[in-house]
Structure 1
Amino acid sequence: MSSPASDKLIPAATILLLRDSAEGLEVFMVVRHHQIDFASGALVFPGGKVDPRDRHENVRGLVDGAEDLDDWEFAMRVAAIREAYEECGVLLARDEKTGALVNAARLTELEHRRDALNKGEIGIGDMLAEEGLRLAADLLTPYAHWITPNMMPKRFDTRFYLALAPEDHLAVHDGSESVDSVWIKPLDAVREAEEGKRTIIFPTRVNVQKLGRHENAAHAIETARAARIVTVEPQVTKNEAGEPVLRIPIEAGYDVNEEPLSRVKV
């Protein structure tokens, strides 16, 4: 899928990291730092903006599953994996020689690289080349594509992905952009937001609610692979009662297709 061209849109990507627990499907979420200028204090999926270095020519040859991706999709997948690594320490990458996924012991050895990435001291391509790694972009399944409505001062062009979290990777918040984290059942996240225990912005809420239809990670990923991605750019309009709402396409397949403007949080 190609993104609508606009100088005002900030490309960003996020991953819904999944695991199966004894109680069912769980997704990893982080609480954004209150000083972050977007979704501050909210429960969100790990992710962030595309870094110009994610598109560097030295990166494409070090990414599995990149062969058929256009430049936009390629940059989104690289950013999604990099941001998940920076923000929660989960790295979807393989050893270049053995083809094996990075394990917990290797993650520990790479911790100084995570810090350098977070500080912007190196780009993802530098880390991959110097450490003999390849990003596992083939493990990402496109799940959703949202564009911030034009009423907002800062607008993002965001791709959402599903990915199974490696079993031995300990997902933890970074203490900088995110200040807390949790593995949570999707519908528990929705319920806690409804009860006022958590803050979840509209795009996150409907995506986690949609994820709650699935009993396990394999079914969620299989369903997403077969689904058509409908780009969602919420439109400001009025409902039958004349109240202003954000409306999204029914074809996108969410449980709801509008949000009262009074409930919209940024």
Structure 2
Amino acid sequence: MSEKAQKPLVPAATILMLRDGEQGLEVFMVVRHHQIDFASGALVFPGGKLAPGDVLPDVRPLCDGADDLDDELLALRVAAIREAFEESGVLLARDESGALIDGKRLLSLEADRPLLDKGALPIADFLTREKLHLACDLLEPYAHWVTPKMMPKRFDTHFYLAIAPSDHVAMHDGSEGVDSVWISPAQALEEAKVGKRTVIFPTRMNLEQLAESKTVAEAFDAAKARTIVTVEPQVEDRDGTMMLTIPAAAGYSVTEITMDSI
């Protein structure tokens, strides 16, 4: 594909919703519907592209932790929280008391998930009506991946860590996500290895990195200590073998891999 024919990058955000389970760190993941045109049938973290309402100026006053973020970075956090609500039912938002909403309040907002997903309800209108503020300050930047140039659809995706409130019941939406699971990173990787799950390369790399932490606190500490390096995989032809490479500085276990093994 020529430079002129390359698809534009679509800004997107993905959220790794974490909790401490009985056996250690767990992350919430969804199985994408087989008819979705990107990563269909794959086990993924909730997320998606920015919606028009995420970038409007009237959203900023409704976000906690917005002061140190430019408009682009704030919109990405808004998208991450919105997508988490749409795809998992978990909403990182505070009420007028300054406390995170509880499970009972969350249940009363269930009917708004599909409206937000379809764009029928802009996020600012939703927050204003419910007198809520998004808890953007609770997101921890984790990774930044850009889809390779040869792909027909390209995303510029920022990954964030978040802690799931203990009384929020996470559940897939039944539309984009057809199944969901709280799972340890190690188990997700093992199930992908034996063919039980489909896990795409960026997800696998971030699961491997997450598996280095045993608790939520360890995962957050590791993320805060890590310098995020943008990963845009490159494809090289080495004597007839197509190789995919990523920057060593990004800190993943793999820096190159054959395309047929992805």
Query: Shorter-chain TM-score: which interval?
Result: over 0.9
Quote how far apart the aligned CAs of 1:114 are. Answer: 1.7
1:80 corresponds in structure 2 to: 80
Q: Aligned pair 1:140/2:139, yes or no?
A: yes
- Secondary structure of residue in 2 paired with 1:58: helix
- Map 1:42-81 onto structure 2 (within 5 A): 42-81=42-81
Q: Which amino acid aligns with 1:78?
A: V
- Secondary structure of residue in 1 paired with 2:149: coil
Quote how far apart the aligned CAs of 1:242 are. Answer: 4.9
> 1:95-152 CA distances to partner (integer Å, 9 max, x unpaired)?
0x20010110001111122232122211111000110000000000000000000010
Quote how far apart the aligned CAs of 1:215 are. Answer: 0.7
- Secondary structure of residue in 2 paired with 1:210: helix
Q: TM-score normalised to the size of structure 1?
A: 0.94
- Secondary structure of residue in 1 paired with 2:209: helix
Q: Which amino acid aligns with 1:160?
A: F
1:120 corresponds in structure 2 to: 119
Quote how far apart the aligned CAs of 1:211 are. Answer: 0.2
1:244 corresponds in structure 2 to: 242
- Secondary structure of residue in 1 paired with 2:243: strand
Q: Distance in 1 between matches of 2:98 and 2:79?
A: 21
Q: Which amino acid aligns with 1:115?
A: P
Q: Distance in 2 between matches of 1:263 and 1:63?
A: 42
Aligned-residue CA RMSD in angstroms? Answer: 1.3
2:161 corresponds in structure 1 to: 162
1:27 corresponds in structure 2 to: 27
Q: Distance in 1 between matches of 2:58 and 2:7?
A: 25
Runs ≥4 in structure 1, deviation > 4 angstroms? Answer: none
Quote how far apart the aligned CAs of 1:263 are. Answer: 3.5
2:36 corresponds in structure 1 to: 36
CA contact (8 A) 2:231 2:246 kept: yes
Q: Distance in 2 between matches of 1:7 and 1:67?
A: 33
Task: Flag structure 2 segments of 5+ consecutive residues without an equivalent.
Answer: 1-5
Q: Tell me the number of residue pairs that the alignment of Structure 1 and Structure 2 aligns.
A: 257
Q: Distance in 2 between matches of 1:87 and 1:261?
A: 30
Q: Distance in 2 between matches of 1:122 and 1:22?
A: 38
CA contact (8 A) 1:202 1:259 kept: no
Q: Which amino acid aligns with 2:35?
A: Q
Q: Distance in 2 between matches of 1:258 and 1:127?
A: 44
- Secondary structure of residue in 2 paired with 1:59: helix
Quote how far apart the aligned CAs of 1:47 are. Answer: 0.3
- Secondary structure of residue in 2 paired with 1:101: coil
Q: Distance in 2 between matches of 1:245 and 1:29?
A: 28
Q: Distance in 2 between matches of 1:222 and 1:102?
A: 25
Q: Distance in 2 between matches of 1:25 and 1:140?
A: 17
> 1:214-250 CA distances to partner (integer Å, 9 max, x unpaired)?
01001101110121100000000145x7521110001
- Secondary structure of residue in 1 paired with 2:161: strand
Q: Which amino acid aligns with 2:233?
A: P
Q: Aligned pair 1:204/2:197, yes or no?
A: no
Deviates more, 1:111-120 or 1:51-60: 111-120
Q: Which amino acid aligns with 2:168?
A: H
Q: Distance in 1 between matches of 2:35 and 2:132?
A: 33
- Secondary structure of residue in 2 paired with 1:191: helix
Q: Distance in 1 between matches of 2:71 and 2:261?
A: 35
Quote how far apart the aligned CAs of 1:7 are. Answer: 7.4
1:3 corresponds in structure 2 to: none
Q: Distance in 1 between matches of 2:166 and 2:182?
A: 13
1:218 corresponds in structure 2 to: 217
- Secondary structure of residue in 1 paired with 2:58: coil
Q: TM-score normalised to the size of structure 2?
A: 0.95
Task: Flag structure 1 segments of 5+ consecutive residues without an equivalent.
Answer: 1-5
Identity over the aligned pairs, expressed in percent? 61
Q: Distance in 2 between matches of 1:249 and 1:157?
A: 16
Quote how far apart the aligned CAs of 1:259 are. Answer: 2.8
